[in-house]
Amino acid sequence: MNKTPQYKNKNSTQTLREGLEEYYAINLHLTPPDSQPPEFAKILLAHDVGHVIYGCDTGMYDELKILPLFWWTSECTFQKFREMRKTPAVDVMYDDMIQEHGVLWLYGSILKVLPPLIPELISIWFKTHNRNKRLPFLEFHPLLDRTLLDIRQEFDLLPLIH
C-alpha cells in the first residue's frame, strides 16, 4: 500500500528537516548531496529542499514543474539558474542521466509530460507573476525547523500545491 508522503500534504505540519528526511527515505535512488563536490552539493540540496517545500515528487512531470516554481517564487530566478547551470558538476549530472537512460528517453519523457504540464505552468505563472517575497534557495537553513505549512503560508505557496 503506497501512502502519500507527509511532505506532499499541502497542510503538512512536518518541519522542513523532517520532510527532507522523509524525501530521502522514500527516494533511495537519488544522489546524496554529501557525495558530490561542495559547489554542486549545495545546489543539489537546495533543489531537494524545493521538492519538499513545493510537495513535488521526482518524476519527469514534477522535475519540469519545479524549475519554473523556483524561477517564479524563489531567489533562484531564471538568471541565477543560468549562472548555476554553468557549474561543471551540473553538466556531469545531465551527462550521467543521458548515459544511464539515453537521449531518446530524456526527450521522449519531456515530450510526454509537456501537454498536461503546460496548462498548469500557465496557471502557476498567473498566480506568481507579481510576487515580491521570494523563498530562499541556497540559504534555506533558517527554515529547517519550521513547519512546511508555516513556510508555505509565509511565501504564499499554498495555492501552488495540489
User: Does any domain span residue 9?
Assistant: no
Asked if residue 24 is part of any domain, the answer here is: yes
**Predicted pLDDT of residue 15:** 98
Residue 127 belongs to some domain of the structure: yes
pTM over 0.85: yes
- The answer to the question of residue 1 being in a domain is no
Whole-angstrom Cα distance, residue 100 to residue 113? 20
**Separation between Cα atoms, residue 160 and residue 76, nearest integer Å:** 17
Q: What is the pLDDT of residue 82?
A: 81
Task: Give the end-to-end CA distance of the chain in Å, rounded to a whole number.
Answer: 21
- 4 in any annotated domain: no
- Give me the number of domains the chain comprises: 1
Determine, yes or no, domain membership for 116: yes
pLDDT along the chain (162 residues), means of 10: 86 98 93 86 93 95 94 92 72 69 84 95 94 94 98 97 88
Report the alpha-carbon distance of residue 40 to residue 158 in Å, rounded: 29
d(CA 102, CA 132): 40
Would you say residue 133 lies in a domain? yes
Domain that holds residue 27: 14-156
Give yes or no for a contact between 161 and 55, defined as CB atoms under 8 angstroms apart: yes
pLDDT for the residue numbered 88 = 64
